[in-house]
Amino acid sequence: MTLKARTVHVVGLGLIGGSIARALSRAGWSVSGEDVDKEAELACLALGYITSKDRATEAELVIVATPAGNTVEVVAEVLASVGPNTVVTDVAGVKNAIVHGMPDERFVGGHPMAGSEVRRLAGSSPDLFMGATWVLTPTPATTPDRYRVVHDAVRDMGANPVAVLPDDHDRLMAVASHVPHLLAGALMTEAADIAQDDSVLLRLTAGGFRDMTRIAAGEPSIWPDVLLENRDAVLATLSSIRTRLSMLEDLLSSGERTSLLTFLDAAAEARRHLPGRAVHASQLSYLRVNIPDEPGVLATITTLAANHSVNLYDIEIAHGVEGVGGTLILAVDQNDSDAYASALRSLKFQVSIS
């Protein structure tokens, strides 16, 4: 932490942008912001969520939180208006096209995995991201310094930054979010169609059905863009789920009780081991990793952490002499430090733990 307040500018002051402004203001950042809706700007000023509505072109960080359909355009426009030391990130739910379409090393893609039923500024909360996963998508062009700026902001909002390559993000989000939304919709419309003749069905829906269809109640308008932008991964996952349902139909038709139980056991086992959402409170270890001054090293190290389910609580770069790399200092849960250090060493990094 520096003594001078850190500076961030938020473009788009709706549910997500408003929550970002509030969370970072509370964490001591100096926050400016803008919105095409001038009433939202004035409300944020009046409520103290932002201190200025003028774009801070020298801010450390600009977070673009406009609707997903505008993100590419707005990010490009912001990159053209800010200086070389400003990092720009976004919050769009599909990352591949935007990250690969924005080959500017000042841009680091992001995706906070939090939302609310209430849209726009009225739904915002400084606690929206507490304990949530916030995906960051560093590329080979991302430097540790720039990554750290976004990482710090995400941590200061109470979220857990997880570094994932853009391709992986989209492929995995198809399973984690996009197809679940369609499954919820398929189940809910199936029930609704039957309930037209048998309205009692709706009274027979207990907790399981309610849990499974809850996300279908969310605002639909954001979804067609997300689904079409991530079309290939969504199609592949839908097809795979259909294959699983066919397999279950075969097991049922042929009365294969044991195979059914094996399937259900595997699902139960996997669900019970889903990692919790809580923030760890255990003590931290610090890993010092010598890094060469070459592209891609930050993305390699941070995505390796994510793949080993290691939270990076803090990330810092101790620069070496220009051109000969430096040392990355990573704060991780002490229970994770040995395994993560081993994984790093297996990739030929020099690592020490303190």
Measured between alpha carbons, how far is 144 from 59 in angstroms, rounded to an integer? 18
Interface with its own copies, residue 217, by CB under 8 A = yes
* C-alpha to C-alpha distance for 59 and 56, rounded to whole angstroms: 5
CA distances from 190 to 65, 193, 208, 213, 242 (A): 35, 5, 15, 11, 16
- C-beta of residue 46 within 8 angstroms of C-beta of residue 73: no
Per-position x/- string for 72-111, each x denoting binding to its own copies as judged by CB under 8 A, each - no binding = ----------------------------------------
By CB under 8 A, residue 346 contacts its own copies: no
Q: Per rule CB under 8 A, is residue 331 in the interface with its own copies?
A: no
Could you tell me if residue 294 is left (phi over 0), alpha (psi between -120 and 50 degrees) or otherwise beta? beta
Report the SS3 class of residue 29: coil
**Residue 127 or 168: which CB sits closer to its own copies?**
168
Interface with its own copies by CB under 8 A: which range of 35-43, 64-72, 137-145, 158-166? Answer: 158-166
Q: Which stretch binds its own copies (CB under 8 A): 48-56, 74-82, 170-178, 334-342?
A: 170-178
Decide if residue 353 touches its own copies (CB under 8 A): no
Residue with tokens 């839908």: 238
Our CB check for its own copies shows the closer of 86 and 337 to be 337
Site for its own copies in 235-274 (CB under 8 A): 235, 237-242, 244-246, 248-249, 252-253, 255, 257, 260-261, 263-268, 270-272, 274
Closest C-alpha to 11, from 27, 25, 31? 31
187 binds its own copies (CB under 8 A): yes
Tokens for 214, please give them. 């809850």
Q: Residue 213 belongs to what H/E stretch?
A: helix 207-213
Interface residue with its own copies, options 57, 189, 342, 352 (CB under 8 A):
189
Nearer to its own copies, 62 or 227 (CB): 227
Q: Tell me how far the alpha carbon of residue 105 is from its chain's centroid.
A: 19
Give me the least distance between CB of 197 and its own copies, in Å please.
Answer: 9
169 is a site residue for its own copies (CB under 8 A): yes
Amino acid at 227: L
Dihedral over Cα of 244, 245, 251, 257: its sign: positive
Q: Interface with its own copies includes 164 (CB under 8 A)? A: yes
Task: Tell me if 237 sits within 8 A of 175, measured CB to CB.
Answer: yes
Least distance between its own copies and beta carbon 218 (Å): 7
Q: Out of 45, 68, 97, 186, which residue is the one contacting its own copies (CB under 8 A)?
A: 186
54 binds its own copies (CB under 8 A): no
Residue 46 binding its own copies, by CB under 8 A: no
